[in-house]
Structure 1
Amino acid sequence: MRPRLVGLLALAATLIADQANKLWLIFVFGIEARQPVRLAPFFDVIYAKNPGISYSLFPAQNGVQRLLLLVVTLAATAFLGFWLWRAATKIAGLGLGLIVGGALGNAYDRLTYGFVADFYHFHVGSFSWYVFNLADVAIVSGVALLIYDSWRPAKKPQGQATGQ
């Protein structure tokens, strides 16, 4: 299977899983009325509306700011999509597909709702880690795969001499 196809499959699976999870939690389970749902002493499911990007940085409070965040997200996604199209390894294709799928899932939220829906909250005592969603997990996993792929030694093409 070509790296490009691996990436496109990862992109589609990520986008579908992220949006299905968000739609189910919001409209079927009704997380807003039931929160917090404690799954472990350190892990809850809640409903957070993130108007910005990671860690609620650069919150977009009005339509122009939301549009600007959306344009920046789509430009970065287009660049990553071009990189995916030219990916040389399956690991890079998978990583880029996860990143693009996650970015598109969050961009869809921002376009549709005006914010990104986040649900998963790790905490220990008074220390609270940020709230995230499946798209964020895919993005972080994709970045980790790209880092791993960049550290792997390059394979030499078959038939190439290893001389002087």
Structure 2
Amino acid sequence: MTKPLPIRDFEHIVLQPRRMQFVIDELPAIAVCGAGWIYGGMEGRPFTAFAISAALLLTLVLLYRFVYLRRTRYYIGREQIISKHGVLSRETDYMEQYRIVDFVEHQSLMQQLCGLKTVRIFSMDRNTPRLDLIGIRRGFDVVTLIRERVEYNKRKKGIYEITNH
């Protein structure tokens, strides 16, 4: 793994879910859609019109989900993590880094096979207590990068965590 750059060496990083994450998330729907198109194209079978209609509707839903995933962006700045997502209406979530308390990296079997991971960030933020960065390359050590920025921002703001173990 590569060591992240010191905080002062870059302003912000932009991450986007990989295209393969769409296939991982939507594999059953993609298979059903394909089967619907194939069955709908067969001559002399019952319910072919229904199969084509269902396949067309599912294709439109899958297209929307693909565009949604491709328009998702995660901006890791010096003081905030910003998540932008949406197609017809866009939503922007802001998470102050000094409020971040924990991280979890998760890989499903399909993500392991495709070299991807999901990074879950937990914070004390009221609006965004949990933020999932999905479809991130497995080799990119985003947790260390964010953790360094969290510690920097906590020191900068004079925030100390007191634990009782």
Taking structure 1 as the reference length, the TM-score comes to 0.28
**Rg larger in structure:** 2
Which structure is higher in helix share? 1
Tell me: higher relative CO, structure 1 or 2? Use CA pairs within 8 A at least 6 residues apart: 1
Which structure is higher in strand share? 2
Taking structure 2 as the reference length, the TM-score comes to 0.28
